Amino acid sequence: MTSAFIMYAVAAVLGGIGAVLLLQLRYPRSDQGRYARLIAGTMFAMGGIILAGFASALRQWSIGA
């Protein structure tokens, strides 16, 4: 198991958590709850995207391309 594969798996988990939090914005909540889910969901989703990019760079670097 390569480290890029582990990074992709963690990125998928982070992206999934972010998506769930952002999808919960559709339901009525207090302003504080909406704001907290918006901030946390955005940060988790962006963390997943950035980590996937790093995993792609690591994979390309490891094969020498």
Residue extents of the structural domains in the chain: 3-63
C-beta of residue 21 within 8 angstroms of C-beta of residue 37: yes
C-beta of residue 49 within 8 angstroms of C-beta of residue 17: no
pLDDT at 63: 81
pLDDT at 46: 97
pLDDT digit string (tens) for the chain, length 65 residues: 678 899 999 999 999 999 999 999 999 889 999 999 999 999 999 999 999 999 999 988 888 76
Residue length, the chain?
Answer: 65
Cβ count near 16 (within 10 Å)? 13
pLDDT at 65: 60
C-beta of residue 58 within 8 angstroms of C-beta of residue 10: no
